[in-house]
Chains A and B, each alone.
Chain A
Amino acid sequence: MSAIQESERTAIQEELVRFLRAEAGEDTLRSGMQSDLGYDHAVWQKMAEMGLLGIAISEDFGGIGGSAVDTAMVAEGLGRSLLPVPFIETCVIAPALLEASDMTDESRKILTRIAQGTATIAIGGNADIVPFRDPDCRLAVKADGTMSGEVSLVMHGGSADFLLLAFHSGNQTRCLLVSSDHDYTIENQTANDPALRPAKISLADVPFIELTGWSNDNFEQAGWQGIVALSAQQTGAARAIFEITVDYLQTRYQFGRPIGSFQALKHIAADLFLEVESATSASQAAARALASKAPQTAQSVALAGFLCNDAFREVSAQAIQLHGGIAYTQEHVAHLYWRRARATLSMFGDSDLHREAYLSAWEAAA
């Protein structure tokens, strides 16, 4: 259930669209790409002022208490702009898990700081809520109450104020919060997508706060929140690059006619349109199911998981092909969508995994 009324939601959406159009264009994306952070910090601050960073956080902790439908709305906007801000990690997954855990002064403080835009959270490890799982991570808690180990693929791990490390330990899953006030080694990893900032983190005898009190259901829900937000982000991005491509088909002339008049290209465009709309339908349905705690949520989430993955990949890949030579250049934006699509394919598992989960859920429901 969402604490946000339909009219408020429309207002937030309109403000978001205006903001992204004004301040999150290709220039912002590209200048952010040149920076250590990977994105323009002013944009993040502005999102905080608009209340968007606390959209999933309860009103008790300085947020506005939105549901999966609301976070999906923000994620879709961010997806359109390709801004690589740590929204899903910081504003969707971490709050879901923090609020499901035993509440402490520290977690209360962190939630408030997230909503205010003064704390970001990076998530690493090999558990299901980790966006980019590192199967080779070695993380262990020691008897003296510190932890040690190594984990790669921690997105924004270098700049985050907190690390949320979620990993399998024996037959249980542990979730540790490590403040960046403590010493640990950060090794930035080079990403194929020039906007992304994965890091390898090495920790030795570092103090942590363990999140406790959450149930397996809570944990699964937090992961679903992440998948649904990602699907919305992919939907927004796929639609954006699709629109850019259709525009180009209308304006680019060869053989004395717009290339969009050729059936070979038209038919690809029509098929891509089906992909974009199907991704949109699947993502919206999953968000609605999750927000209303519908019994078929597992199925809806898995469906959105692979349809949106595959749609974004197909649409962004064909966008380069449909543009031809111009999109084979760094100057054109198409390759940035394509790289992001490839980077997101393995977030929260991959399409094959989601397909298997979807079929299993089908069988369980039958």
Chain B
Amino acid sequence: MSDFDHTASPEALSAAVLGWLDLYWDTQHRGPLGEPEGNQQLWRQKVFDAGLAVPSWPEEWFGLGMKPAQCKVIEKAFAERKAPGAGLDRYHLGAITVFKAASDALKREMLPKLLTGPICCLLYSEPNAGSDLAGIRTRAERDGERFIINGQKVWTSNAAEAEYGMLLARTDWDVPKHRGITFFLFPMKQQGVEIRPINQITGESEFNEIFIENAVVPERFMIGKLNEGWASFQTAIAYERLIMGQGITERRRGASAKGRSPLLELAAKTHRLQDPVIRQRLAQALAYREVNRLNNERAKRDMMTNGSLSLMSLSKLAMSRIQHGEAAIATDLLGPASLLDGPDNADPANTNFDAAKAYMNSIGGGTDQIQRNIIAEKVLGLPKEYEPDKGTSFREVKSDAGSRNGE
């Protein structure tokens, strides 16, 4: 069925994909050829039907059975023609989780929808369950062949566009916290789902709070088994942390151009490039970024050769040090001007934004402190800390101000 041969050479594959794109995609108008409206839905369907949305997945699951290097060729061809829709097997967290953890029936029913629709939102964190995510209190109660959901979620991006959310909810309160959680594919467009944007310290509002009151999920939308959602969730979150360290949360401003550093440019502009103290700090900042790139290269080689993820786990920590550090230097370079902001003061405004945005990397996807625990325990093999809630039914576990979850 597929036009793309997974035994083809990289050159042949690239030519085949580019040829396919030229047949259906209008690079100049950034839309499907002959579709003046630029119908996104239609385009996603087209990419999906060709197997190009998730090329690394097997053919019976909408993919092409391609190796990572071949997927890269495909994504590169899409990038060359400025066409969206490739690489969903790398960043469509919802579809990836369903593919890896859901039943065949759910996969068959929902993957075509998820992969051709808007990206799924993530309904994980709650006001009382941040670093201790397994402490969620949104409840899912069985009602015949469906579940009724009540609770509150937070830090959800793309909530308004998403048709489905990846929901973690508590289905058993009388077992220890990890064992009473179920993972659901949650329909967002229904009664009882209220979305409120959060005003973030950067001035952006990419995240939302979600209030859920008596909303409904069909039983067949359960991902994995009842009360076994935590394991499936681990797959999903590991992936999210991995992509954080690549600096995806950074403001784009052409910084990736080789030999250019926005920080050096700012130092030149503020006439501090000859200051030996500033020079030391600039060198250190550039070095952290450069060595993170070198670490990531090694991490990728490690992952390819022996599947080791230990180096990968470091990049999120490294990225925090880079972003907070660069913002601090930029602030000092600007001096008193850094108190200004707004469109008339681009350099201070950018620096203020970066200083705030750095927390996105050091808090989002689990704080750096949680990440240090993960590195210490999973990579270095250090023992877990004493856990007062271990083995205790969730209802009995202490919450804020010493009350209990069940009270």
Contact = CB atoms under 8 A, between A and B. Distances in A.
A246 B382 contact: yes
A220 interface: no
A261 B384 contact: yes
Interface string A213-253: 00000000000000000000000000000000010011000
B283 A278 contact: no
A363 B268 CA distance: 11
Interface string B355-374: 00000000000000101110
A238 to B, nearest CB: 14
Interface string A279-320: 011101100000000000000000100110000000000000
A355 B284 contact: yes
Given A278-B295, A362-B264, A363-B264, A355 B280 contact: yes
Given A270-B317, A278-B318, A285 B294 contact: yes
A269 B375 CA distance: 9
A262 B380 contact: no
Contacts of A362: 261, 264, 283, 286
A281 B295 contact: yes
Contact of B383 (A260, A278, A359): A260
Interface residues of A, number: 35
A356 to B, nearest CB: 6
A266 B377 CA distance: 8
Contact of B318 (A260, A267, A274, A306): A274
Nearest to A366: B259
B318 A359 contact: no
B382 A261 contact: yes
Interface residues of B, number: 38
Contact of B314 (A260, A273, A359): A273
B343 interface: no
Contacts of B340: none
A355 B380 contact: no
B373 A266 contact: yes
Contacts of B369: 263, 267
A136 to B, nearest CB: 24
Of the listed residues B259, B292, B369, B376, the one surrounded by the most CB atoms of chain A closer than 10 A to its CB is: B376
Interface in B272-302: 276, 279-280, 282-284, 286-287, 290-292, 294-295, 297-298
Contacts of B291: 278, 281-282, 303, 307
A271 interface: yes
B259 A365 contact: yes
A260 B317 contact: no
A284 B282 CA distance: 23
A359 B386 contact: no
B311 interface: yes
Contacts of B380: 246, 269-270, 273
A250 B138 CA distance: 37
Given A271-B317, A307-B291, A366-B259, A262 B264 contact: no
B388 interface: no
Nearest to B385: A261
Of the listed residues B280, B287, B298, the one surrounded by the most CB atoms of chain A closer than 10 A to its CB is: B287
Contacts of A246: 380-382
A284 B375 CA distance: 23
Contacts of A285: 294
A250 B382 contact: yes
Contacts of A282: 291, 294
Interface in A350-366: 352, 355-356, 358-359, 362-363, 365-366
Contacts of A363: 264
Contacts of B280: 352, 355-356
Nearest to A262: B385
A273 B259 contact: no
A358 B382 CA distance: 36
Contacts of A109: none
Contacts of B297: 281
A262 B376 CA distance: 10
A261 B279 contact: no
Contact of B287 (A274, A306, A352): A306
A150 interface: no
B271 interface: no
A307 B382 CA distance: 26
A257 interface: yes
Contacts of B292: 278
A277 interface: yes
A25 interface: no
Contacts of B376: 260, 266-267, 269-270
Given A267-B369, A303-B287, A359-B282, A250 B375 contact: no
Interface of A: 246, 249-250, 257-258, 260-263, 266-267, 269-271, 273-274, 277-278, 280-282, 284-285, 303, 306-307, 352, 355-356, 358-359, 362-363, 365-366
The 5 closest A-B pairs by CB, nearest first: A266-B376, A281-B294, A355-B283, A260-B382, A270-B372
Interface of B: 259-261, 264, 276, 279-280, 282-284, 286-287, 290-292, 294-295, 297-298, 311, 314, 317-318, 369, 371-373, 375-377, 379-386
17 contacts: A246-B381, A260-B376, A263-B385, A266-B377, A273-B375, A273-B379, A274-B318, A277-B298, A281-B295, A303-B287, A306-B283, A307-B287, A352-B280, A355-B279, A355-B280, A355-B284, A362-B261
Given A269-B380, A358-B287, 17 more contacts: A260-B382, A263-B369, A266-B385, A267-B369, A267-B376, A269-B376, A271-B317, A271-B372, A273-B375, A277-B295, A277-B314, A281-B291, A281-B298, A307-B291, A352-B280, A358-B286, A366-B264
